[in-house]
């Protein structure tokens, strides 16, 4: 076949496929070609420059930045949300809405969803979530005890319950404080049958939804009753902690800070979290930046949902 004849055939196949929306099987039948040949000619149409594909990104979509974060921090995925830089409440709302949409798309039958019990951003996620069709075997398990005073523990239970209702899943509560006064008190609660029921599911969690905390408590947490004593805070400062996931604290490089507090915490361990198929960290804003960076460097989450300003700063890190 002469070169011009070959190009003419490539162009004909490309036009039928891209402009007239015909399937490859239809083109093969119309032109008397095999479907394999049609597929090969479509590939050639790009090589020859007959077809040039360009993607026009909608305003507020940051695909290149998402891909950069995935590569830089070895993530499974990253979602960058358009939001204002200096309004923490708005950032939480926007991140919650994006996380809700992601969760709506991701849930499969037999999914076991773990949720951290106290995060303003996760509250926004549940508020934005639409009721989902029932899927077999879905469970929602609370992976961090209630944080703060007793009213907060009740609030954590309601958050977990509401998520279970929205995803039509069985709910498994962790009705204990997130942090105890002593290791002995923690050990007593770990022996409780209700507590054991939740803990036994931690290794089976397929999707975990966690906030990323800053060292200083959020306004929401501070209002609920600060869970950390002055001594605890001093120990964290001495260890150069910058943030936490599930009340497990780490430094700017993601290394765990050993203050002895872990022995008083009732939550999913970070070693367990790293084995979860989708460990989704939902956090943004300048107050949490160091915590987010530490969580990524420590590989404590494999999916990040954050705002565009935080994402841009993260992408520039060495």
Does the domain made of 63-315 have the CATH classification 2.60.40.1180?
no
The answer to whether 283 and 306 are in contact (CB under 8 A) is yes
Residues 51, 47: Cα–Cα separation, whole Å: 8
The two tokens of residue 132 are: 């989902």
Interval 30-44: pLDDT, tens: 888 899 999 999 999
| Domain spans, the chain | 3-47, 63-315
The beta strands (E) that lie in 181-288 are given as 207-211, 213-214, 243-245, 248-250, 278-282
Q: 280 burial class (0-12, 13-18, 19+ CB within 10 angstroms)? A: buried
Average pLDDT over all residues of the chain: 88
Task: Return the percentage of the chain with pLDDT > 90, whole number.
Answer: 57
Position 155 scores a pLDDT of 67
**3-47: CATH architecture:** Orthogonal Bundle (1.10)
Whole-model pTM: value is: 0.82
Question: Rounded to whole angstroms, what are the CA distances from 175 to 122, 123, 212, 309?
Answer: 18, 18, 21, 37
Query: Sheet of 248-250: strands edge to edge?
Result: 213-214, 243-245, 248-250
191, pLDDT greater than 60? yes
Interval 235-294: pLDDT, tens: 999 999 999 999 999 999 999 999 888 899 999 999 999 999 999 999 999 999 999 999
């Amino acid at each position: 076949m002469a070169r011009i004849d070959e190009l003419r055939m490539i162009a004909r196949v490309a036009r039928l496929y891209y402009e007239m929306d015909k399937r490859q099987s239809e083109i093969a039948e119309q032109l008397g070609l095999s479907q394999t040949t049609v597929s090969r000619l479509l590939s050639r149409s790009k090589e020859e420059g007959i077809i040039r594909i360009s993607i026009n990104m909608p305003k507020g979509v940051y695909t290149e930045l998402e891909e950069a974060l995935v590569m830089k921090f070895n993530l499974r995925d990253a979602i960058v949300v358009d939001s204002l830089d200096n309004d923490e409440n708005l950032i939480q709302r926007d991140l919650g809405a994006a996380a809700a949409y992601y969760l709506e798309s991701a849930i499969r039958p037999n999914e076991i969803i773990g949720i951290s019990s106290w995060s303003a951003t996760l509250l926004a996620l549940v508020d934005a979530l639409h009721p989902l069709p029932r899927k077999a075997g879905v469970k929602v398990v609370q992976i961090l005890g209630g944080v703060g005073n007793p009213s907060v523990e009740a609030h954590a239970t309601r958050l977990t319950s509401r998520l279970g209702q929205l995803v039509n899943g069985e709910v498994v509560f962790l009705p204990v404080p997130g942090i105890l006064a002593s290791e002995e008190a923690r050990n007593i609660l770990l022996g409780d049958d209700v507590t054991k029921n939740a803990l036994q599911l931690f290794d089976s969690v397929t999707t975990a939804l966690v906030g990323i905390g800053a060292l200083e408590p959020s306004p929401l947490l501070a209002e609920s009753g600060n869970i950390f004593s002055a001594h605890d805070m001093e120990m964290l400062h001495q260890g150069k902690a910058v943030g936490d996931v599930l009340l497990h604290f780490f430094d700017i490089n993601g290394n765990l800070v050993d203050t002895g507090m872990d022995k008083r915490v009732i939550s999913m361990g970070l070693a367990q979290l790293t084995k979860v198929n989708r460990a989704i960290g939902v956090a943004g804003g300048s107050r949490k930046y160091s915590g987010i960076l530490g969580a990524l460097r420590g590989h404590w989450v494999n999916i990040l949902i954050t705002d565009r300003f935080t994402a841009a700063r993260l992408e520039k890190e060495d």
